[in-house]
Amino acid sequence: LWGPWLCHVGMLLLIAGFALGQRFSLEAYIYGVPGEQREIEGTDYTVRIDDFQIELREDETVEQYTAGLTVIDGKSGQELSGTAQVNAPFDAFGLRLYQNSTGWACQVDVYRDGTLEESPLLCVGETLTPESMPQLSLVFQKFYPDFADTEEGPVSKSSRLDNPCASFLLYYEGRLLAGDVVGLDHEIIAEPFRFVFHDPQPYTLIQIIRDPFRWLAALGGLVILLSLLLCFYLRPEEECTVRLADGTVYGWHHTRGKSSVWRKGDV
């Protein structure tokens, strides 16, 4: 009797844990390069990226990504440091930080009339808008560490910085002015501005998850496993008797590990 009852209790706990988790959980993403600090939206916490390493095998395929992180509590000022790897998250203040992905970033020098105005760090997919001319936008479309121009289009032959190039799009008031692939330190001219990509480096993308009711869903799963054990392994004693027309009684008796068939006169 306990098996089926506990199975339903486990299902209810599992549903409650999932529903409450969806209601009160947090999922956020931050990205950046070592030295940068990002706020976690919707919380009082800030993440500082202390280090980011890419370990390669002998064949130059990636073996592991490792991000050194520090989580800072904005209320208490307390800091917790650790490392996040693929499939090995870093836990801090009830948050779980996963090394999710990576990409490339470049410094972009912005000159106006020959004078350096700014030099922000731009990640692939981001847009740069000069402070003195918001109508102009430079989109960092893609980065090629080892650029090669093929019949199928531009590709990167390897992950080494042998021939680094950047693909860009240039807009003015929403209209496309230019788009091309240029080598680093090559000037992109849009008078009176000149843009120069240089100093590429990989950035890390961190996924941040907080689910305060994960334990409830896990408890529901354990209760369901226990109920299945009770239902199918620790089965109670069963007995069945049948009386035929001539009055003979046949019976079947079963307990875990033992079964028997008998008839009246044998017992």
Tens digit of pLDDT at every position of the chain (267 positions): 678 888 889 899 999 988 887 777 888 999 999 999 999 988 899 999 999 998 878 777 788 899 999 999 998 999 999 999 988 999 999 899 999 989 999 999 999 998 999 999 999 999 999 988 999 999 999 999 999 988 888 899 888 889 999 999 999 999 999 999 999 999 999 989 999 999 999 999 999 998 888 888 889 999 999 888 887 776 656 777 888 888 788 777 766 655 666 555 444
Rg (CA), the chain: 32
And the tokens for 49?
Answer: 């990226």
Q: Which residue(s) pair with 116 in the sheet?
A: 111
E strands of 90-235, at which residues? Answer: 90-92, 95-112, 115-118, 121-123, 127-128, 136-144, 147-150, 153-156, 165-172, 175-183, 187-190, 193-210
**Cα 58 to Cα 76: distance, rounded to the nearest angstrom:** 45
pTM, two decimal places = 0.69
